[in-house]
Amino acid sequence: MNFLDSEKLETILLKNGFEKVDNPEDADVLIVNSCSVRKHAEDRAFGYLNSLKFLKNRGKIFCLYGCTANIYGSQIIEKYPFIDVVCGPNKIRESPKILKEALNGEKIVCVGESDNPFIEDLINVGGKISASISITKGCNNFCSYCVVPFGRGRLMSRSPQSIIDEIKRLVDKGIKEIILLGQNVNEYGKDIGTDFVSLLEKIHQIDGILRIRFLTSHPKDVPEKLILSFRDLPKLCKHFHLPLQSGSDRILKLMNRKYTVSHYLGIVEKVREVCPDITITSDIIVGFPTESEKDFLQTYKIVENVKFDELFVFKYSPRPKTSASKLPDDVGKEEKERRHRLIYNLQQKITEQINKNYIGKIVEVLVEKESYKKKGYFIGKTHNKKTVLFRKEGNVKIGDIVNVEILNSSIHFLSGRICVK
Ligand code: SAM
Ligand code: SF4
């Protein structure tokens, strides 16, 4: 979502007379688009701006964008007086105006909600075949550890017509795959009297779109209708990112996740029954306040049993304004690292084994780009999000769908050769 915001910001600025330069030394305005989901990300954003502070005496404007801006607002300028502009993710549209004011010497704080945070038609497609589009912004769920409702505000859905119109224009520019983004896409439409599956069905009818992906889903909001879509909508990619967060019901309750482990496992079972070759990926947080060895081992067991294709494992860090930040952060740094390492290593083995099972199979791959590392090779993705590397052959070009026989595998990708029909 942050990458998409950066692309939109870049396009707005280019359309309004700004130019992009390669070196910070050559810029009049320096913008860091920050993420604040974990403390580490926030520290990096401030660290990067700090590392460029020596350029300040050359009259440059320093700007902090993104969720961090919304969370701390004017406190940022009080703490870091070299920063001139603080702009939240819902206010990107106002950038040309506020940057011009800042260039005239004003300090600007532009945060909070907006009536129209969705920016249309601004993506510089630049030869890509896949484009992301935000269908919702914000989140109302208030998981106890999560800063997103404070960084991005409350849930707001974009109108179906505006989404469809943008996708049609993207198709005209050569886009073949659409990735629908939202913090919890399953809540799409709640505020405007529609629902996510109806949107998927409408997008599915658009000619020229070959593949549709979406993320992220919340396990408390997965209707049967969505599960059946993986079977009934052929363009819908067979990949389901469904964050579990913890395998302990006690911790899930403290996290305010509003589902139990058995509810989660029920969804996995149904999805696999309806769509056996689906890829399921997930997020786990280790070291949440009061997480005992027993809680942790429950998570470990679930990871061992479910066999996710891929897993993002995070060490808990307290975030401002969240309710969990009032609990003691009582799992020590080394213990968080140990738990992180154990789950990470377990998952590496599982992913390696799952990927090995592809050897000898023929998979359908959408060709995405040329490999930078391996000359003469293409990189593409299967329907279920496996990355595949294969040698260029015949007239095959970016955007084609080809059959590839898998000859080798690793944790990160599969490799093979194009099958001539
Ligand atoms: N909206 C998605 C959901 O409901 O799962 C994910 C949002 S968040 C941007 C992505 C992931 O970051 C979460 O799934 C969670 O695992 C992790 N995360 C969020 N807050 C965290 C925190 N305070 N400490 C560590 N990890 C965190
Ligand atoms: Fe954060 Fe929970 Fe909303 Fe996801 S659903 S963005 S984890 S509050």
What's residue 121's pLDDT?
A: 66
CB 124 within 8 A of CB 9: no
Q: Is the pLDDT of residue 100 over 70?
A: yes
Ligand 1, pocket-test mutation among 285, 299, 321, 322, most atoms within 8 A of CB: 285
151 CA to centre of ligand 1 in angstroms: 13
Task: Give 57's pLDDT tier (boundaries 50, 70, 90).
Answer: confident
d(CA 17, CA 241): 39
147 CA closest ligand 1 atom index = 20
pTM for the model stands at: 0.94
Mean pLDDT, residues 183-201 taken together = 97
Check pocket membership of 138 for ligand 2, CB cut-off 6 A: no
Nearest CA to ligand 2 atom 5: 141
pLDDT in tens, 362-415: 999 999 999 999 999 999 999 999 999 999 998 999 999 999 999 999 999 999
Q: Which of 359, 319, 307, 395 has its CA nearest to residue 150?
A: 319
DSSP string covering 228-274: HHHHH-TTB-SEEE---B-S-HHHHHHTT----HHHHHHHHHHHHHH
Task: Give 127's pLDDT tier (boundaries 50, 70, 90).
Answer: confident
Mean pLDDT, residues 124-135 taken together = 87
357 CA to centre of ligand 1 in angstroms: 30
Q: Is the pLDDT of residue 26 over 90?
A: yes
What is Dmax (Cα atoms) for the chain?
65
Task: Give 56's pLDDT tier (boundaries 50, 70, 90).
Answer: confident
Q: What angle do CA 217, 222, 225 make, to 5 degrees?
A: 120
Task: Give 421's pLDDT tier (boundaries 50, 70, 90).
Answer: low
Residues with CB under 6 A from ligand 1: 37-38, 145-146, 148, 183-184, 216, 218, 243, 245, 283, 285, 314, 316-317, 319
Q: Which of 254, 260, 226 has its CA nearest to residue 241?
A: 226
Q: Is the pLDDT of residue 182 over 80?
A: yes
Q: What angle do CA 367, 371, 376 make, to 5 degrees?
A: 90
Q: How far is CA 226 from CA 195, 197, 217, 414, in A?
A: 10, 6, 10, 29
Q: How far is CA 104 from CA 12, 59, 87, 99, 120, in A?
A: 20, 11, 17, 9, 29
Q: Is the pLDDT of residue 74 over 80?
A: yes
pLDDT in tens, 204-262: 999 999 999 999 999 999 999 999 999 999 999 999 999 999 999 999 999 999 999 99
Phi, psi of 28 (to 5 degrees): -90, -30
pLDDT in tens, 310-348: 999 999 999 999 999 999 999 999 999 999 999 999 999
